[in-house]
Every structure is written in C-alpha cells, then in structure tokens.
Amino acid sequence: MEFSNKVVIVTGAAGAIGKEIARRIIEEGGKAFITDIAQDKLDAVVSELGPNAASLAADCSNAEQVKLVVQTCLKIFGQNIDVLINVAGVTGKGGKIEDITEETWDFVYAVNVKGTFFFIKEVIPVMKAQGHGSIVNFSSKSGKTGSALMTAYSSAKGAIITLTQALSYEVAKQNIRVNCVCPGITEATGVWDNVSADYVNNLKMPFEEIVKTFTAKVPMGRLAHIEDIVNVTCFLASDRAAYMTGQAINITGGREMH
C-alpha cells in the first residue's frame, strides 16, 4: 500500500493515463483529487473510482482556477498534499512550422508549460509546510528529441524537462522531489489519436502505415501500453524512489536512450 493515507492531485485525469494513475493511487491506499477541463467527465471518473476520489474541473492555464482546485483538495482531504502528478497536456495541431498559428503555439504552451507551473506554484508552499512532497511532471519522448511536424509540442515538452531539473535543485533541501516521465507514443490515448490523425493528414499515409512506421522505430517492437506509463509514474511518485530527483525517465521501449 505505497500511497497509504497520502493525498495525490492528478491533473488531466479525465484522460486515459490520468484516470489510470488515479486508480492505481487509490488501489495502493491513497486519496486522489482529480482535475480536468470538463466536470461531467470528472464526475464519471469519480463514480468509477469510488469514495477516495474527488474532483473539480479547471482550466489549468488559469491561475485562479488552479488555486481553487488546490484549496478544494485541502478542504476535502485535509491539510496535506503529498504528491502532485501533472498529466494535463495537449499536442495542438501539428504541421510545418510556417503553417502553425500563434494561437496554436500559445495554446500548447499555456496547457503544457503554464499549467504545470501554476499547479507547482500552488502546491509547493503546502509541501514546504508539511516538510515533504513528490512531484511528477509529464514531458515526452518529443521533449528529449524533437518530432518533425510537432515543433510547438516538442519545444513545450522540452521546457518541462528543464523546469523539472531547475525545481529539483530549488526544493531538494525541503525534502521535495521533482521528476518527470518522457513517454513514447502510447496506444489508446487522446494524444495518440491526435498525433496519428495529424500524420495521416500531413504525410498522406493510411493509419495502418502510420502505426507500422512508428512501431518500426521502437527496438521493443510495440507502442507503449497505458500500464507502462502508470507503473513508472507511480514509482517516481512513491517513497520507492526516495533518492531520485531531477530525473527525466524515458518510457519508450528503447527508442530514446538519453
């Protein structure tokens, strides 16, 4: 019961990965406060996860809404927030850089980077006061090695890695750990749906050929499963990773090795 009596905030939890992370937290004894953009979807997830889950919808790029999420979590589950897992992210519309609009660029950075920053900003004072904490941010394989036709997303996810590193130095002496995960393409997720649709459109290839193209690049010969991401994320969030901070861990089947 690795998360026994621990309170965990999970962002982007109406999506496949965020929901399964919250489920694992609860299965291992924790309480999960989940957030995403749509309350009806969150209500469905809470109904599925049971009494140790609670939620509030918010736009993670809105500072006041993020503050309310953290305050509500504290009211419902007590005065500690032991773990923050920043899953919320968007790919935006991919394509050649000359075709990317300012609105797309700003949206991708607002959700991926500003949203992560806002949640960290609100949670860090709580973790400092309680004398411990663990933060896991979501970067991407594309944050390590940029992906063609995905410049906004790749650069935003690269920013998450350096944010993680800088913050880990800043708060290490307060017993707060900060790490991030860098998943490769993960099947059965909204990100994969959006990325594959963009590649079908931009490369004029059938979906089946897109899958083969991506899989051929992976030494282990398959795309990531959601469980692969959940396992590593929850490890980093837990005390099992007590001596790890500032790390960006690849979950890519060997495709990314740095």
Instruction: Return the half-sphere exposure (C-beta side, CA atoms, 13 A cut-off) of residue 73.
Output: 30
SS3 call for 225: coil
* Coil vs helix vs strand at 54: strand
d(CA 135, CA 236): 8
Helical packing angle, 63-77 and 115-130, nearest 10°: 40
Please tell me the distance from the alpha carbon of residue 119 to that of residue 69, in angstroms, as a whole number: 9
Q: Between vectors from CA 223 to CA 8 and to CA 249, what angle results, nearest 5°?
A: 45
Q: Are 72 and 46 in contact (CB under 8 A)?
A: no
User: 212-228: string of b/e by CB count within 10 Å (b at 16+)?
Assistant: eebeeebeeeebbebeb
User: Could you tell me the CA-to-CA distances from 176 to 59, 84, 129 in Å, in that order?
Assistant: 25, 11, 11
Catalytic residue numbers read: 153
* H helix intervals, the chain: 16-27, 39-49, 63-77, 102-109, 115-130, 141-144, 151-171, 190-203, 207-216, 226-237
